[in-house]
Copies of this chain bind each other. A is one copy, B any other.
């Protein structure tokens, strides 16, 4: 791209959105947060992304006010990432992409799951989606049915 902020003056909403979340990793991080994932190491293992890239994307997502950091809910002194209201409103985007992919990018009967540990190759145990304020989110699968 010519300049880092090149799309920010684009008059098209789609173009601006693509500029913010239209890279290889951002939306996948957001998707994982929707599925209850909150910590750096979990993102890293699940996505198989390099640590520096992950660090950079998380910063950009926080900067774009899609994610925000807060103290970990368990005892540890570490931080965790949660969706802001702006981030949660990306839900329809993720659902639309998921639906399109399911319908057009999979063979009949092919298995599709979401959270896989890139090292062990095993599914990551489901953590249960939790919203920023602690209330439960509707699981993605359920929402897919509803939208359809």
Chain A residues with CB under 8 Å of chain B are: 1, 11-20, 22-24, 27-28, 31, 86, 89-90, 92-106, 111-114, 116, 147
Contact = CB atoms under 8 A, between A and B. Distances in A.
A1 B18 contact: no
B90 A13 contact: no
Contact residues of A: prevailing secondary structure: helix
Contacts of A14: 27-28, 31, 94, 97-98, 101, 114
Contacts of A97: 13-14, 17-18, 93
B98 A92 contact: no
A22 B22 contact: yes
A23 B20 contact: no
B98 A96 contact: no
Nearest to A8: B105
A111 B113 CA distance: 40
A11 B112 contact: yes
